[in-house]
Amino acid sequence: MSDFYRHLLSRDGLENEGLTPYPQLDQVSAAMVVDAEDARFLDEGLGGIYMANRIAALDDPTTTFTVFDWTIWEEGPGVKSIYPANPTVGKAGGMVLRADSVAELAGKIGADPETLTKTVDAYNAAVRSGNRTGATPPRTDGAEPATPLDAPPFMAITLAVGITATMGGLLVDANMQVRDANDQPMPGLYAAGGTTGGLEGGGALGYVGGLIKATTKGLIAAEATSRT
């Protein structure tokens, strides 16, 4: 019950409705996410829902940034998603910080230039060497492959977490009939879609998809009720 279906958004969306619930910054954030210590603290390759849950669990979720470069913003994930962050963030009034060097960018986000530069250098070294699991923390190639951050201008966007629904929910059987505390079916009570639990979450915060759950479980529940 502790996991949610969430996405990463621009922190400017807390005050600007034009930046929520889109554009989502999941794919751009797959470059690098840093915390208040100017360091990576999660595996960006596990995707936006995983990152959003990790950020939301911080004592202060508003201290995080996504850091990326020109290539990612202009030729990569920044423009290739269904609802691309580039140019939507800027057009909606969100701030995209830019600098010619990582050290200069650090000053714009209130980070320590030396620490952020070391963070980027360590990330780049792990990506180029191919030893991404040896990075701290590891950087896998799941939702978005890792690429070096080496094409200025370097950029950053402040992050916030948009929460949609819990991943936990009611316990159901194969007919989508709700089970009680004694694991017995509750007469006449069925559940489907996001109201049910047991299919998502876990260590890597696996997400199946709201429409998939709604259509398949809804159909099973409908068929089961038609038989009663």
pLDDT in tens, the chain (228 residues): 778 888 999 999 999 999 999 999 999 998 999 999 999 999 999 999 999 999 999 999 999 999 999 999 999 999 988 889 999 999 999 999 999 999 999 999 999 999 999 999 999 999 998 877 777 899 988 778 888 999 999 999 999 999 888 888 899 999 999 999 999 999 999 999 888 888 887 777 777 777 888 899 999 999 999 987
| Upstream peptide bond of 21 is cis (omega within 30 degrees of 0) | yes
pLDDT at 210: 76
Residue range(s) of every CATH 3.90.700.10 domain in the chain: 4-164
What pLDDT does residue 42 have? Answer: 94
Q: What is the pLDDT of residue 41?
A: 95
Whole-number Å distance between alpha carbons of 155 and 191:
45
Tell me, which fold does domain 4-164 have in CATH?
Flavocytochrome C3; Chain A, domain 1 (3.90.700)
pLDDT for 145 equals 84
pLDDT given at position 6: 87
3-state secondary structure 84-140: CHHHHHHHCCCCCEEECCHHHHHHHHCCCHHHHHHHHHHHHHHHHHCCHHHCCCCCC
Residue 213: its pLDDT value, please?
Answer: 85
